Amino acid sequence: MAEKQFVKEIADINENFTQWYTDVVLKTQLVDYGPVKGTMVIRPYGYAIWENIQKDMDRRFKENGSKNAYFPLLIPMSFFTKEAEHVEGFAPEVAVVTHAGGAKLEEPLAIRPTSETVIGTMYAKWIQSYRDLPVIMNQWCNVMRWEKTTRPFLRTSEFLWQEGHTVHATEEEAMEETIKMLNVYREFMEETLALPVICGRKTEKEKFAGAVATFGLEAMMLDGKSLQSGTSHYLGQNFSKAFDIKFLDKDSTQKYGYTTSWGTSTRMIGAVIMAHGDQRGLVLPPKIAPIQVIIVPVAAHKGGVIEKAKEIESMLVKAGIRAETDTRDMSPGWKFNEWEMKGVPLRIEIGPRDIENNQAVLVRRDKNEKQFESIDALETLIPELLDIIQKEMLVKSRANRDARIIETDTLDGIINGVDGKFVKAGWCGCRECEDKVKELASATARVMVDEEGIPEKCAICGKPAKHKVIFARAY
């Protein structure tokens, strides 16, 4: 009864995926709408996921030579105009501070939509010699992009992210860094988010405003649409020339540096929800789950049940597992549903009869099958099981995705294919063909995957193909 009631609160995942998403993020208390249109409040359960993401990524960044810093929120509007493409891309989206301290400002200030301009300005001041290079910094911060249609985590006017900004002496080093960080992201997404991603270069139309080349990581959601989960940009000398980032090289000549930037955001939480969820709600990968194991006492009023549950909890906590016992005055069935909806990877049920038999019931969120295990075995079994869940979620997610990738050599093939699938096709490289796909198939070129081999013909115009592209609808 309770179960059905609970599930009914969430829209049907197959019939209305959009509503399912909204229901899930609100009802699991990951997030709420902020008072200002288009903003979100990240509630403790959602923020704990972000903290786990941050901790894991931050370690990877530092292992790759990056140091964290913090640059100002407010950027003079004039900074944006220094890089022509950049201002065109971002000016329409910025929020502008015109008054402060009770007076009108001499120059309006933008709330950062991204920080290339202000960080570039500081780098120009700090970098003098080749000895100062490479510079590799990252910041964790909030950014603001005024969007018309917004959805929690996926697209909000303010969001949290990290942005790495690097300067190198040569083109080769900068490109190497761009690709290295793309791979750091890919490994993180696969290992920690259990999210298989396709990496590739973006088309001119889809690249970052001001970049020479943008590389993206595309993940497939359960509805077959793509979600760009991170980007790594090779900026060439565009920003170093605009912001005068110069260094005295070994040969005693002044040279402009080569810069990169790379970013990921709270959007990744949206990707996790839409790649792993099911009708019951969230399914969280153990590595980022705020609670990895929930212990639910059954017939909790009977002597010794709560005590045994707590004993298991503290044993698991000592083993480094995020375990909690739900001692609230609710029925076990109600609790099962709630924790399933909240996506806790593993549930332990323990009642008087289980204690008699020195056993506990384990239920995996990703499989929803019961297994009986000896209480003594839990200490070693649970960490192993969490590892297995983590790995199997990636395998399952990858299989789901691969079954929805098709290839075509016709425009019709793209038009018919993109409804729920990624479509690979040859492309001549011209903007007209790209726009035609957008117009007729409501799909965009996600990334180029030329390394798979370039088809002979452009699927759209029939001319010789220059690239192999993944076309898909995207969030």
Q: Which stretch binds a second copy (CB under 8 A): 42-50, 161-169, 181-189, 336-344?
A: 42-50
Question: Counting contacts by CB under 8 A, is residue 320 touching a second copy?
Answer: no
Q: Where are the beta strands (DSSP E) in 317-448?
A: 323-325, 346-350, 359-364, 370-374, 405-407, 422-427, 444-448
Nearer to a second copy, 100 or 399 (CB): 100
**C-alpha dihedral over 433, 435, 439, 441, to 10 degrees?**
60
DSSP label of 112: P
Peptide bond into 134 cis (omega under 30): yes
Task: Give bridge partners of residue 348 from the DSSP assignment.
Answer: 295, 362
CB nearer to a second copy: pick between 2 and 141: 141
Of residues 50-89, those binding a second copy (CB under 8 A): 50-51, 67-76, 79
101/303 with CB nearer a second copy: 101
CB 261 within 8 A of CB 162: no
Nearer to a second copy, 69 or 388 (CB): 69
Give CA–CA dist 454/464, Å, rounded.
10
In whole angstroms, the minimum distance from the beta carbon of 59 to a second copy comes to 12
Q: Is 22 in the site for a second copy (CB under 8 A)?
A: no
Q: Give the C-alpha distances (Å, rounded to integers) separating 441 from 231, 265, 421, 436.
A: 24, 28, 12, 8
Encoded one letter per residue, x for contact with a second copy by CB under 8 A and - for no contact, window 185-224 reads ----------------------------------------
| Binding status of residue 471 toward a second copy by CB under 8 A | no
User: Pick from 266, 239, 255, 227: which is nearest to 79 by CA?
Assistant: 239
Which residues, 107 to 166, sit near a second copy by CB under 8 A?
Answer: 108-109, 111, 118, 121-122, 125-126, 137, 141-142, 144, 146-148, 157-158, 160
What is the closest distance, in whole angstroms, from the C-beta atom of residue 142 to a second copy in the complex? 6
Minimum separation from the CB atom of position 137 to a second copy (A): 6
Q: How near is the Cβ of 40 to a second copy at its closest, in Å?
A: 7
Alpha-carbon distance 400 to 147, whole Å?
31
> What is the smallest separation between the CB atom of 30 and a second copy, expressed in angstroms?
11
Q: Residue 437, class by beta-carbon neighbours within 10 Å (0-12 exposed, 13-18 middle, 19+ buried)? A: buried
| Both structure tokens of 357 | 């038999």
Binding site for a second copy (CB under 8 A): 32, 34-36, 39-44, 47-48, 50-51, 67-76, 79, 91-102, 108-109, 111, 118, 121-122, 125-126, 137, 141-142, 144, 146-148, 157-158, 160
